[in-house]
Amino acid sequence: MDSCLRGLCTFIIIYVNLPPGGGSLWAEWWNYEGISGPAYWGRMNTDWYLCSKGKNQSPIDIDPRLLLFDPNLKHIDIDGDVVSGTLVNNGYDLTLEINDTDAETTPVNLTLGPLSYNYRLKQIKLHFGSENYIGSEHTIQGKAFPGEIHLVAYNSDVYANISRAQTSPKGIAIIAAFLQVNHNYRNPPVLWLLLGQRTKLLKGLHIKQLLPNIDTYITYEGSFTQPGCHETVTWIVINKPLKVHKDQMETLRNLRQGDMDHPQAFMADNFRPIMPLHTRTIRTNINFLKGCTMAKDMHYEVNTNFKFEN
Ligand SMILES: *[C@@H]1O[C@H](CO)[C@@H](O)[C@H](O)[C@H]1NC(C)=O
Ligand SMILES: *[C@@H]1O[C@H](CO)[C@@H](O)[C@H](O)[C@H]1NC(C)=O
Ligand SMILES: *[C@@H]1O[C@H](CO)[C@@H](O)[C@H](O)[C@H]1NC(C)=O
């Protein structure tokens, strides 16, 4: 198992490095700390003004006491399962770019829940921390998880592609799940599906094996958590963490920005700080009045987080 893991590390570190847009756009080289960090994103590029001026920004802190039960929130439907794509280390996060025009697979669609349109799955992104108490973008009552996975989908009823959808009304839906570190390989090796491949091109990835139970969730209207912070995202945060073995977490934490010959800073801690909720409502399909104790479960999940310190 150990040598296998080392093999994985080597495999993972190989990937690319340059700023999106081809490498010449150093003015756009944002980061997660310092003078090109989140506090400055809004000033680095006029197209990113929402990063500092927006009133519907993400991520947010989820306070279980403020959740509004909405009886009209249906379950979320995920149609389809198998995808192909390319795993990319873009310097900011680990992204699986799904090929939604692949002839051999059918696009995976998200519908229902808070969504009024058909959303086509396009990317899977990982944010994670260098320690177990940081890493997720959203937090629950001020507490972070070691990581967060984002399933990014675009409104394919209205928009031709994700680039158009990401700047347009109701353009994007993101399912987010927290990562929780666990010491037990008997649990489904979820992240393994992403990391455990030897080639950059992934084929036959089963989305449904990646996701924990998505029956209960919270939802709110927010933004991308990276520049330009467009406020076009319906967030769906699942109330059930995805278990990640500590060795997989180590693999992630060894991941660096830059390529193998020019390794740069560690990628870990690639999360944006919490943004203000302002006047927004966080809705949920968890019915507290019916004796459901999800608020407690949330506390519980957050608390167990701290049992897994090494
Ligand atoms: C997803 O929606 C597209 C239309 O946008 C459709 O062609 C495709 O078959 C759907 N996928 C599944 C698995 O039903
Ligand atoms: C997606 O798959 C199709 C064929 O299945 C292929 O022609 C195309 O190059 C792929 N696109 C990317 C970005 O890999
Ligand atoms: C996305 O769709 C728009 C039309 O809505 C088109 O102008 C644009 O070229 C497309 N972009 C990509 C990357 O395909």
Pocket residues: Cβ below 6 A from ligand 1: 79-80, 106-107, 109, 118, 156
Buried b (16+ CB within 10 A) or exposed e, 132-155: bebbbbbbbeebbbbbbbbbbbbb
Global pTM? 0.86
Q: Tens digit of pLDDT for each residue in 164-222?
A: 999 999 999 999 999 988 887 655 545 555 665 445 677 778 888 788 778 899 999 99
The angle at the Cα of 212, spanning 207 to 214, to the nearest 5 degrees, equals 95
Residue 206: per-residue pLDDT: 83
Catalytic: which of 119, 159, 217, 220? 159
Of 147, 71, 141, 79, nearest in space to 108 by CA: 79
> What is the spatial distance between Cα 224 and Cα 230, in angstroms, rounded to a whole number?
6
143 or 14, which is more confident?
A: 143
- N-term to C-term CA, the chain: 19
Domains and CATH numbers, the chain: 2-305 (3.10.200.10)
Q: Which two tokens stand for residue 11?
A: 């495999």
| 176 CA → ligand 1 middle, Å | 22
**According to the model, what pLDDT value does residue 94 have?**
86
The more confident residue out of 58 and 29 is 58
- Determine the atom of ligand 2 nearest the C-alpha atom of 103: 5
Atom of ligand 2 nearest to the CA of 99: 1
- Where helices occur in the chain by DSSP H, the ranges are 2-13, 41-44, 50-53, 162-165, 192-195, 207-210, 246-253, 294-304
Q: For residue range 111-159, list pLDDT tens digits in order.
A: 999 999 999 999 999 999 999 999 999 999 999 999 999 999 999 999 9
- Distance (angstroms) between ligand 2 centre and the Cα of 105 equals 11
Nearest CA, atom 13, ligand 1:
80
Ligand 3: which residue has its CA nearest to atom 14? 161
Per-residue pLDDT at 304 exceeds 90: no
Please compute the mean of the pLDDT values over residues 44-65 and round it to a whole number. Answer: 94
Residue 188 and residue 157 in contact, taking contact as beta carbons nearer than 8 Å: no
Give me ligand 1 centre to Cα 72, in Å: 25
pLDDT band of 248, cuts 50, 70, 90: confident
In this structure, the residue with its CA closest to atom 1 of ligand 3 is 161
Write out the E strands in 94-146: 94-98, 109-112, 119-128, 139-140
Q: Does ligand 2 come within 6 angstroms of the Cβ of 99?
A: yes
Q: Which of 55-59, 67-71, 81-85: highest mean pLDDT?
A: 55-59
Ligand 3 binding pocket (C-beta < 6 A) is 160-161, 163-164
| CA 237 – CA 252 distance, rounded (Å) | 22
CA of 60 to the centre of ligand 3 (A): 31
Tell me the one-letter amino acid at 308. F
Active site residue 92: no
Q: Measured at the alpha carbon of residue 49, what is the angle toward residues 48 and 51, in degrees to the nearest 5?
A: 75
Q: Which residues of 23-32 are buried (b: 16+ CB within 10 A; e: fewer)?
A: eeeeebebbb
Please give the DSSP secondary-structure letter assigned to residue 266: B
Say if residues 112 and 136 touch (Cβ distance below 8 Å). no
